[in-house]
Amino acid sequence: MNSDARGGGDDELEYVSTRRLEAFTDGVFAIAATLLVLDLSVNKLGPAISVDADLWNALLGQSHAFVSFVISFLLLGMLWAVHVWEFEHIERVSRTITTLNTLRLLGIVLIPFTTSLSSNYPELLAGRLLLPLNFLFVTLIGLIEWHYATRPGRHLTAGLSEAGIRSSRNGAAVAVVASVITVALSPWLGPWAFVAFILNPIADRIPGISRPRSRRP
Amino acid sequence: MNSDARGGGDDELEYVSTRRLEAFTDGVFAIAATLLVLDLSVNKLGPAISVDADLWNALLGQSHAFVSFVISFLLLGMLWAVHVWEFEHIERVSRTITTLNTLRLLGIVLIPFTTSLSSNYPELLAGRLLLPLNFLFVTLIGLIEWHYATRPGRHLTAGLSEAGIRSSRNGAAVAVVASVITVALSPWLGPWAFVAFILNPIADRIPGISRPRSRRP
Amino acid sequence: MNSDARGGGDDELEYVSTRRLEAFTDGVFAIAATLLVLDLSVNKLGPAISVDADLWNALLGQSHAFVSFVISFLLLGMLWAVHVWEFEHIERVSRTITTLNTLRLLGIVLIPFTTSLSSNYPELLAGRLLLPLNFLFVTLIGLIEWHYATRPGRHLTAGLSEAGIRSSRNGAAVAVVASVITVALSPWLGPWAFVAFILNPIADRIPGISRPRSRRP
Amino acid sequence: MNSDARGGGDDELEYVSTRRLEAFTDGVFAIAATLLVLDLSVNKLGPAISVDADLWNALLGQSHAFVSFVISFLLLGMLWAVHVWEFEHIERVSRTITTLNTLRLLGIVLIPFTTSLSSNYPELLAGRLLLPLNFLFVTLIGLIEWHYATRPGRHLTAGLSEAGIRSSRNGAAVAVVASVITVALSPWLGPWAFVAFILNPIADRIPGISRPRSRRP
């Protein structure tokens, strides 16, 4: 409406509630995580099973789908926890934040589809690559969003020291690195490539490349 | 219960929490946005793919569905952000607001269906027209709801100057205009007609036809 | 843990947040309302449509499903608004309230199924009866829950006069009556029987059988 | 970031909002509960029913699916109410709590699948065992999470006496015991084995093995 008192690149800065962005995000994460289960379906067990052994075998035949389900669920849980941590420190939401967050959620919403690809075509390249690429997209947008939110002049965050901003940015970069490694290894290792994501909890224990631990005042 | 102290057309005015209307709205938007992914389905890739090239081709064959998914997701994100902005300024919810909001959500809930139509019948008129018509319905109800909420005597909003109300109403009208243009062009341009929606961010930079930027006090 | 200081039938009284009961309820309503759209599906349009006229005809053939969708969505919106109004006045949640609310939500969750029955078998008795019976179940549990919550000695509600409690109980009874009438007429009228639900907005304008309008202090 | 002032095993302690963990949990429970209805589907009623008696018979043929739906819905409601009670007393969320809660939700998300198994293969061992095993997983993680949260030095909870912590831990153990009994009996009793879960409301009336009732101050 009027010109910006804080000057510089802040001209699109405006206040809308973080509360609703968080509620929308929680909803999308919760639904995407729950839709994963649709890929485990009795319809895929085959027609007319009437013997115990046949049902156990049919379920074992879905074990690849189950592994994909668990991996995607746990990674969604981890990405959600990162979002929670970040928005504990973000106080105001600008239009750019909203747009970046929408792109991040677009990536989240695709996870049930790429997980389904991974569990249906475990031996094919597209089946192996697209799930890690999907997570790479999400972590990359997350890195950009967090850099944007913590740029010094922007005053969107609160309660973070300069060192804290630096190390949390490094932490967000580690998630991107873990995604890149997973993409690179998945043609050979399949879902085992996701082991690269243990980089995240490891980094979280190293000062300087982790999200700083805040305490109750 | 008793007669109205404020007089005039306010007789159905009553206070219920905007909080729950917002929660319900966030939920419906989040679910509708997430259901869009169900249209991208491994079941549509065709039977028994076992060669890399076949899977990549099958995925490319779904590129139209992917474009429809991205368009609808981004527009849902934009419509959600408009709702957030509006309810930052709406303080009290009357029965008419609740009813108009329910109609608006009815339009939102239909988006996954009309998106699916658009991605399955990209060459047919109904496939091209119904998705933009759906968005027109939503933006039109949104315009009516916002006019209703900001009518001067009604005291439902707070923190908006008269100029702010005028320009935000114009902003809501721009969304309707963008929808109408999309409807008119989509028989010829298909999903490219949605380019008309860049009118919204353009208008948002022009004082007098945009939602005014509020700042933290 | 220990005996009850307030005496009487309050022994199972305890405080848990209405906030989370409301969040859970909003979520279930939002999801049930959104799942209704799954019944409108391109898969039902028939195989391989490639002519405009065929697609329009196929869509017209789904008009019954569309009518069922609109009816169920609007009634869900109305039942949700009633829940919002009631919990504006409920301050504390006892175990019995939680249990009754869970039963009410069980009814809500069934709506997509009974709506689907109604749209697939519009000419058969089960298709006509089960949707109104479902709404009867929900309004009946709602009536019981509201009577329980407003029983004088229980101190669960706040801000309601005795006359207000009486007329809101009558309002809840009107919803049950509307459901019973719909059940009774639906074998002959099909979805038109739902016109009985206009009793609700009518009753809402009559002092003594309506939810009293509260105003901002 | 820096070393821990409280000493001991608290080094991973940090504050993130319980609010968002609760919102995410409410969302997952609401969606899992609502997805249960997808198992009741008109598609399973068989092709081309056009006589009243046939539709009633087809619906009766789904009665087993309906019983499974009701059982799972009510148990989800109960598990949700336990989570609400626990987080009324949890004030701060550490990373371990977040991780345990994610595992608990992983179990919740699987319920629609194991319910579907139970309703489609009521006579087979896997159909009978996997739903109770799923609930056992959830109650077991719940027990661990609650023990972790209430460990004396950890200061994550508030407002609970030592006796209250003890009896609430016993209450969480009762839910595990009920699950184990259900697992053990279900090969013979099928869904009737879930009757063991009435242990929970019974225990809730016995001081020393129940969640203590809190009252409004």
Inter-chain touch A15–B214, beta carbons under 8 Å? yes
CA gap D142, D158 in Å, rounded = 18
Q: Do C14 and D51 touch (CB under 8 A)?
A: no
pLDDT score at D214: 59
Would you call B23 and A28 a contact, using CB atoms and an 8 Å cutoff?
Answer: no
pLDDT greater at residue B92 or residue C29:
C29
H helices then E strands: how many in chain A?
7, 0
What pLDDT, in 10s, does the model give residues A88-113? 889 888 888 999 999 999 999 999 99
CA distance A93 to C80: 30
CB contact under 8 Å between A92 and B23, yes or no, is no
* Residues of chain D positioned with their CB less than 8 A from the CB of C31: 30-31, 34
CB B130 within 8 A of CB B190: no
CA B39 to chain centre: 19
Question: What pLDDT does residue B2 have?
Answer: 37
What is the CB-side half-sphere exposure of residue B12 using CA atoms within 13 A?
A: 14
Tell me the average pLDDT across D133-142.
96
Report which secondary-structure segment, H or E, holds A65.
helix A63-89
**C200 to chain B nearest CA, in Å?**
13
How many residues are there in chain A?
217
Whether C24 sits inside 8 A of D80 (CB atoms) is: yes
Cα atoms found within 13 Å of the Cα of residue C105, Cβ hemisphere only: 31
Q: Give B72's DSSP letter.
A: H
Counting as contact any 3 or more CB pairs under 8 A, the partners of B are A, C
Question: Model confidence over B124-139: pLDDT tens digits?
Answer: 999 999 999 999 999 9
Q: Is the pLDDT of residue C11 over 60?
A: no
Question: Is-contact B15 C216, C-beta < 8 A?
Answer: yes
Instruction: Give C 59-88 residues with CB within 8 A of chain D.
Output: none
> A212 versus A82: which is more confidently predicted?
A82
Q: What is the ipTM of this complex?
A: 0.88
Residues of D in contact with C113 (CB under 8 A): 37, 40-42
B58 exposure class (CB count in 10 Å sphere: 0-12, 13-18, 19+): middle
CB A14 within 8 A of CB B214: yes
Residue C213 contacts B, CB cutoff 8 Å: yes
Are A213 and A199 contacting, i.e. CB atoms less than 8 angstroms apart? no
Please report which residue ranges of chain D form alpha helices under DSSP H. Answer: 18-35, 52-61, 63-89, 95-120, 125-150, 162-189, 199-203
d(CA B122, CA B65): 9
> C174 to chain D nearest CA, in Å?
27
pLDDT for the residue A94: 85
User: Which residue bears the tokens 């013997």?
Assistant: A51
Residue D70 is predicted with a pLDDT of 95
- Tell me the helices (H) and strands (E) count for chain B, helix number first: 7, 0
**Predicted local confidence at residue A12, as pLDDT:** 42
Nearest-CA distance C200 → chain D (Å): 27
List, in sequence order, the alpha helices (H) in B5-157: 18-35, 52-61, 63-89, 95-120, 125-150
Residue contact C17–D41, C-beta within 8 A: no
For residue A7, pLDDT beyond 50:
no
Give residue-wise pLDDT tens across range D33-60.
999 998 888 877 877 788 888 899 889 9
Average pLDDT per 10 consecutive residues for chain B, totaling 217 residues? 37 67 95 90 79 89 90 94 91 89 97 92 92 96 94 82 89 93 94 88 81 59
Q: Judge: D213–C21 Cβ closer than 8 Å, yes or no.
A: no
Nearest CA in chain A to B26: A24
Highest mean pLDDT, choosing among B131-140, C89-98, D62-71, D160-169: B131-140
- CB–CB of A28 and B27 under 8 A? no
Q: Using CB atoms within 10 A of its CB, is residue B34 exposed (0-12), middle (13-18) or buried (19+)?
A: buried
Q: How far apart, in whole angstroms, are the C-alpha atoms of residue C191 and residue C132? A: 9
List, in order, residues 6 or more apart from C177 with CB less than 8 Å away.
Answer: C199
Q: Give the closest of A24, A116, A123 to B26, CB-based.
A: A24
- The predicted pLDDT at position D25 comes to 96
For position B15, what pLDDT does the model report? Answer: 63
What span, in angstroms and rounded, lies between the C-alpha atoms of B157 and B164?
11
Q: State pLDDT tens for residues A40-56.
A: 888 778 777 888 888 99
pLDDT at residue D136, rounded to an integer:
97
pLDDT exceeds cutoff 70 at A1 = no
User: Could C105 and D38 be called an inter-chain contact, meaning their C-beta atoms sit closer than 8 Å?
Assistant: no
Residue with tokens 């869970």: C102
Interface of B with C in 144-203 (CB under 8 A): none
Chain B CB contacts of C22 below 8 Å:
20, 23
pTM (global) more than 0.95:
no
CA D123, D124, D127 angle in degrees (round to 5)? 100
Q: What is the DSSP letter of D2?
A: -
Q: Do C36 and B109 touch (CB under 8 A)?
A: yes
The angle at the Cα of C76, spanning D19 to D115, to the nearest 5 degrees, equals 70
List, as ranges, residues 92-121 from B with C-beta within 8 Å of A: none
Q: Could you give the CA distance from residue C179 to residue C132 in angstroms, rounded to a whole number?
A: 6
Q: Which residues contact B122 (CB under 8 A, 6 or more apart)?
A: B64, B128, B190, B191
Beta carbon pairs, A and B, within 8 Å: 100
Query: CA separation (Å) from B129 to B145, B191, C56?
Result: 24, 10, 11
Up-side HSE of residue D125: CA atoms within 13 Å toward CB?
8
Q: Tell the burial category of C69 from Cβ atoms under 10 Å away from its Cβ (0-12, 13-18, 19+).
A: buried
Closest partner residue to C27 (CB to CB) among D30, D87, D214 is: D30
Query: Which of C49, C84, C216 lies closest to B121 in CB terms?
Result: C49
